[in-house]
Amino acid sequence: MKLEEISKIVENKIRDIKDFPKEGIVFKDITTLLNDGDAFSQLIDYLKQRYENQKIDYIVGIDARGFIFGSALAYTLKCGFVPIRKKGKLPSETISKTYDLEYGSDEVHIHKDAFLNNKNANVVLIDDLLATGGTAKASCELLNELNVNIVEACFILNLTFLGSDEERLKGINTFSVVNI
């Protein structure tokens, strides 16, 4: 399947919810994509095809919707899955990065031994949405600190009106299924 085809399928399955989580925001709801088994499996099959010849060791999913896409993709690629989580959600020793939000800050964590000391492991970072890029950038910084090779940061949706990929994730190869 070509990118144009899967982009159209995915875009047609995303529902807009106006004024969520607050007035003036148009939330891109992926649940309508997830509950369409055919569309969801076509998306995962497309991503498998994209990465299957790149010797990927781990898929890294960002809390929480990146877990959905990431675990399905890791299963199809027969590789490991590593979660990046919000503060206080991982049970073992972690490293963390803080990033700015519109009002305040947040932080993401990853287990120190997430890659079983496999330095230079090839990883794909995945999440549902690239918006301002704060969470993705902090996640990439964590991965760099653990000395893994970020093959690509993959997003199902990319809100391009919030900036270019290069501005938001300097030096990281990015791929998005749908650009809005």
List residues with catalytic annotation. Answer: 65, 102
Contact 63, 84 (CB under 8 A): yes
Q: Which string of b and e fits 113-143 if b means at least 16 CB within 10 Å?
A: ebbeebeebbbbbbbbbbbebbbbbbbbebb
Residue 135: both structure tokens together: 């969470």
Kind plus residue range of the DSSP H or E element containing 80: strand 80-86
Neighbours of 56 (CB within 10 A): 21
Nearest to 46 by CA among 178, 167, 145, 159: 178
Nearest to 159 by CA among 127, 123, 125: 127
Contact 90, 111 (CB under 8 A): yes
Alpha-carbon dihedral sign for residues 151, 155, 158, 163: negative
